[in-house]
A = this chain, B = another copy of it.
Amino acid sequence: MATHRMPAEKRKKQIVEVALGVVDKYGLHGATMARVARGAGVTQAALYTHFKNREQILLAVLDTIYEEIFRIQEGARNKPVIEGLREATNVYSRFVGGRRTGGHAYLLLEFVTGSREHGLREALGRHQLAATRQLADIIEEGKDRGDIPEHVDSEQLAWMVTGWSWALDVAQLMGLRSSWHPNVSVELLDRILDGIDGRPDSVGAVLS
Please list the residues of chain A having a beta carbon within 8 angstroms of any beta carbon in chain B: 26-30, 109-110, 112-114, 116-117, 121, 124-125, 128-129, 132, 156, 159-160, 162-164, 166-171, 173-176, 179-181, 183-185, 187-188, 190-192, 194-195, 199, 201-208
Contacts and interface: CB of A to CB of B under 8 A. Distances in A.
8 contacts: A109-B113, A110-B113, A113-B173, A114-B114, A125-B174, A128-B176, A163-B188, A199-B204
Contacts of A128: 174, 176
A110 B160 CA distance: 22
A175 B125 contact: yes
Dominant SS among interface residues on chain A: helix
Contact of A109 (B27, B112, B194): B112
Q: 6 closest A-B pairs (Cβ-Cβ)? A: A202-B204, A163-B167, A166-B170, A191-B191, A159-B184, A27-B116
State how many copies of this chain the complex holds.
4
A195 B160 CA distance: 16
A130 to B, nearest CB: 11
A107 to B, nearest CB: 9
Given A113-B114, A124-B175, A159-B184, 20 more contacts: A26-B116, A27-B116, A28-B113, A30-B116, A109-B109, A110-B113, A112-B113, A121-B175, A125-B176, A160-B191, A163-B167, A166-B170, A167-B167, A187-B207, A191-B192, A202-B202, A203-B203, A204-B205, A205-B208, A206-B208
